[in-house]
Structure 1
Amino acid sequence: MTSQYPIRADFDDRTIVVYQAYSPAIADAALRAGRFTAPFSYTRMTWIKPSFLWLMHRSNWARKPGQTRVLAVRITRDGWEEALTRGRLTTGDPAALAEAAVHVQWDPERSLRGAPLNHYSIQVGVGRGLIRDYADEWVTDITDMTAKVRRIADLVGAGRAAQAKQLLPPERAYPLPAAAGRHLGVDS
């Protein structure tokens, strides 16, 4: 694959930020506990996305039912890289995919206004076999981004895109070890 497939994210030496949108019940419980807890489901796949704008497209800026709360979830880079190492592209062999601990898909990255761009963003589906590791071991911090999401959406809606861009989380190319993402077409 080409440079259309880099991972862009907000990260530091130990952690990477992924975004998720939830119902108020799940978000409030996670924020109170500082980790995911009931009613968060450990029995279904959870999708994590390092692209803020892709999640804004997916959740319609936190307006989609069941996705009205946006969380920035800081996880360990070790956990993130483990997920990618164990991941399988969703376009692969259906039998192998059914057994995969982690599903990976590439979707067009989105602009501030939601238009598809000519490069891709990674979505990672952490399956039941790893979801406890994700929720109990990889997560280091959970931050409610909902107010900021609404502020950015309001600025975009008012034609003030330059101001909205200033509020976006910083994202840069993630230096993934080659072996961790080679089978996924990830550029490092």
Structure 2
Amino acid sequence: MELKLKKYREQLQDWPEKGHHIMAQYDDEKIIVYQSYRKEIGGFAVENQYFGGAFSLERMTWIKPNFLWMMYRNGWGRKEDQESVLAIHLKMEAFKKYLENAVYSSYNERLGISREKWQDQVKESSVRLQWDPDHDPFGNKLERRAIQIGLRNDFVKTFTKEDLILIEDISEFVKEQHQFVLNDDLDQLILPEEKSLLFDDEDLNKKLRLK
């Protein structure tokens, strides 16, 4: 496994408690995002290092750079059809392009545009942006917000192959770490090392409400 790992308790000391943050493992070249699928889709992706087979190009696919938020969504890989947990090493330039083209999935006056204008943008855009409450290892809601990005049309097509660097199956790692959660032993819990991401592009940071 090529993920960099660090004890949860150690990371917790450095993580922001509130606000909008893209918590992720990244460097200048790549960022790691997570998805969960049924084993047929996950197995194909890991074996072939691209998404194909039973993977649908017609549906919007959602990527999540925050590991614990993914664990909240997939029940630590225990939910039906989400047993195959993937760590997807994605080109940073592709991730940034997604966000530059993203439209918020719900309307808010803070967007600075009319509801009608937003509706037009949603129809035209192939990337959705959504902030949700982040969660701790037990699934408890936090004040910090976590991001997820929905891709469709041409963005799904590039995501499935040319935007990828590596696809890792981390299902067994997820099962192992979940045992510490079940045993209420967070001192032993190890997670992918994550930190808050800010871009050099201030306009993009402002759009994303990053601080």
Q: Confirm or deny that 1:74 pairs with 2:89.
A: yes
Matched AA of 2:196 = A
Task: Give the superposition deviation at 1:186.
Answer: 3.0
**2:36, 2:132 → 1: CA distance?**
17
**1:74, 1:151 → 2: CA distance?**
21
Q: Structure 1 residues 136 and 181, CA, compared in 2 at 3 Å: closer, same or farther?
A: farther
Corresponding residue for 1:141?
166
* TM-score normalised by length of structure 2: 0.83
- CA deviations on 1:128-166 (whole Å, 9 max, x unpaired) are 2311111121110001110011111111111211101xx
Q: Confirm or deny that 1:54 pairs with 2:69.
A: yes
Ranges of 4+ aligned residues in structure 1 off by more than 3 Å: none
- CA deviations on 1:103-136 (whole Å, 9 max, x unpaired) are 0100011101110111100000011231111112
Task: Give the superposition deviation at 1:14.
Answer: 0.2
Q: Confirm or deny that 1:170 pairs with 2:185.
A: no
Q: Confirm or deny that 1:90 pairs with 2:115.
A: no
2:55 to 20, 40, 43: 40
Corresponding residue for 1:108?
133
**1:48, 1:96 → 2: CA distance?**
21
Matched AA of 2:179 = D
Question: Which is higher, the Rg of structure 1 or of structure 2?
Answer: 2
Structure 1: stretches of 5+ with no match in the other structure: none
**2:164, 2:149 → 1: CA distance?**
15
Corresponding residue for 2:207?
183
The question of whether the paired residues in 1 share the 8 Å contact of 2:132 and 2:147 is answered with: yes
Q: How many residues align?
A: 183
Please, what is the CA RMSD of the aligned residues?
1.3
The question of whether the paired residues in 2 share the 8 Å contact of 1:26 and 1:38 is answered with: yes
The question of whether the paired residues in 2 share the 8 Å contact of 1:87 and 1:184 is answered with: no
Matched AA of 1:82 = K
Matched AA of 1:74 = H
Task: Give the superposition deviation at 1:173.
Answer: 1.2
Task: Give the superposition deviation at 1:185.
Answer: 2.0
The question of whether the paired residues in 1 share the 8 Å contact of 2:94 and 2:163 is answered with: yes
Structure 2: stretches of 5+ with no match in the other structure: 1-17, 108-117
Task: Give the superposition deviation at 1:183.
Answer: 2.3
The question of whether the paired residues in 2 share the 8 Å contact of 1:89 and 1:184 is answered with: no
Q: Tell me which moved more, 98-107 or 20-29.
A: 98-107
Corresponding residue for 1:158?
183
